[in-house]
Amino acid sequence: MTKVLLAGLLIAWPLLGQNPPAQNPPSQTPPAQAQPQNPPALEQPKMEEPGTAPDEPQPAAPKKNDTPAIKTAKKTTEAEGKVVEEIIARVNNDIITRSELDKAKAEDADAAREQCSGRCTPEQLQVAVEDAQKFALRDLIDQSLLAQRGKDMDINVQPDVVKQLDQIRQQNKLKDLDELEKAVTAQGINWEDFQNNIKNRLLTQEVIRREVGSHINISNEEQKKYYQDHLKDFERPEEVALSAIEIKTEGKKESEIPELKAKAQKLHDRINDGEDFSELAKRFSDGATAQQGGYLGVYKRGELSKELEDIVFKMKKNEITDVIETKQGFLILKVLERYEEGQQPFDKVQNEIQDRLYSEKMEPALREYLKTLREQSYVVIKPGYQEMAGGGNSEIQEVSATPETTKTKKPHKKYLLFGKTT
């Protein structure tokens, strides 16, 4: 399940109540297209709920497509009325509880269902869910090791945490961070945990970048060899890669439409004045792919409405459309890349090749790095969970609850501790 871990570490943080696209696209060059994609349809033309951007090789990762995991307890003692948690793993001074594992497995199952949607038989879906959940505990342990390593390296990600929170606030159209906190807690999520999960995710990203990604080198000769060895992968029909800024008018009063149109036009003018399209999309677009800089996907002729097709297939790379009025609102499209029909030249697909080679090298390098972290750490696993955890230094033996309970962060929560090791 290394690929599960690799899939999402650099994914934009899920918004409240939303499941965002699975991967972040690059700001200018669309990601690899060796595998078929299903870009969101833009019909007649209308504002769609765009689908996911194509897969992009990015390092590692906490769990996907859900709000940050909260350390909630599941069991309560009748006599004391206190929450009791079952500890199933220790990672140095951190613990992993059964409820955290259950949540992680549920998230993995949801991700497998989303990826399989419309493409799998019930039997294939069942296999996909089981495969996704197989090493859920191992992934939680890896995440803990990476976050701890980031703290040991004195990596400061607090400014990025604040920036991430503000992006979530903007995406959810909230006035300030106080409103965001209220929205988070209204969903039953602890605000401190919400922030800490973002912090740990950013820490793990930075650790991987410094400790693993910085040591991966891809020479120009490697890229050219890959291109020559995979020429058929780069034979394509005429295509365009698109990003969008969407200002939706659905559900708005008629009196509000002129103001929304003026907002779209102002954004168009700011782009023409040199501001970054993807950053403006993240901040102001109402589209589902806003946090991916508005990236929609790659479209062949016939996959867009005739009106949109006639516009974008005449445009050059990095050009933007005028503000387009649709039934759902106002749309600004940017052509990220143009692919003429036939064999694509090396310089047109070089970034894509770099991504593929980076992904191929990152997976084994990251797994080796995580193996080293485990060997240098104290990792103990409760009996029965070894296979799911990917192994540990020793097993945990169950004993009665001890005064170690006082070491937990929240005084109202009590854990079933397993202190002796074999």
Closest CA to 199 of 13, 355, 29: 13
Q: What is the CATH number of the domain that holds 71?
A: 1.10.4030.10
Query: Where in the sequence is the domain holding 332, given as residue range(s)?
Result: 238-340
Q: Is residue 228 part of a domain?
A: no
What pLDDT does residue 410 have? 38
CATH code of the domain in which 327 resides = 3.10.50.40
Question: Are 403 and 362 part of one and the same domain?
Answer: yes
Q: How far lies 262's CA from each of 129, 273, 325, in Å?
A: 46, 16, 12
Same-domain check for residues 164 and 304: no
| Same structural domain, 307 and 392 | no
Instruction: For residue 231, tell me if it sits in a domain.
Output: no
Given 340, 368, 399, the domain boundary residue is 340
Give residue 83's pLDDT: 55
* pLDDT number for residue 173: 79
How far is residue 401's CA from residue 385's CA, in Å, rounded to a whole number? 20
Same domain flag for 382 and 293:
no
Which one-letter amino acid corresponds to residue 34?
A
What's the pLDDT score for residue 405?
33
For residues 12 and 144, membership in a common domain is answered with yes
Residues 6+ apart with CB under 8 A from 78: none
Helix ranges (H only) for 376-415 are 386-389
145 shares a domain with 79: yes
Domain C-terminal end among 340, 364, 384:
340
Indicate whether 187 and 100 sit together in one domain.
yes
Integer Cα distance of 147 and 144 in angstroms: 5
190, 76: one domain: yes
Which stretches of the chain score pLDDT less than 70?
A: 1-83, 391-422
How many angstroms separate the CA atoms of 28 and 347, rounded?
14
- Grouping H, G, I as helix, E, B as strand and the rest as coil, residue 113 is helix
H or E stretch covering 261: helix 257-272
Q: How far is CA 20 from the centre of its chain?
A: 8
In a domain? residue 347: no
Q: Are residues 86 and 213 in the same domain?
A: yes
> pTM for this structure?
0.60
**Same domain, residue pair 253 and 389:** no
CA 96/CA 101 separation, integer angstroms: 7
Tell me, yes or no, whether 410 lies in a domain. yes
> How many independent structural domains does the chain possess?
2
In a domain, 50, yes or no: no
Residue 404 placed within a domain: yes
> 249 and 195 in one domain?
no
- Of 316, 340, 364, the position where a domain reaches its end is 340
Question: Is 32 contained in some domain?
Answer: no
pLDDT value of position 42: 52
Give yes or no: residues 171 and 199 share one domain: yes
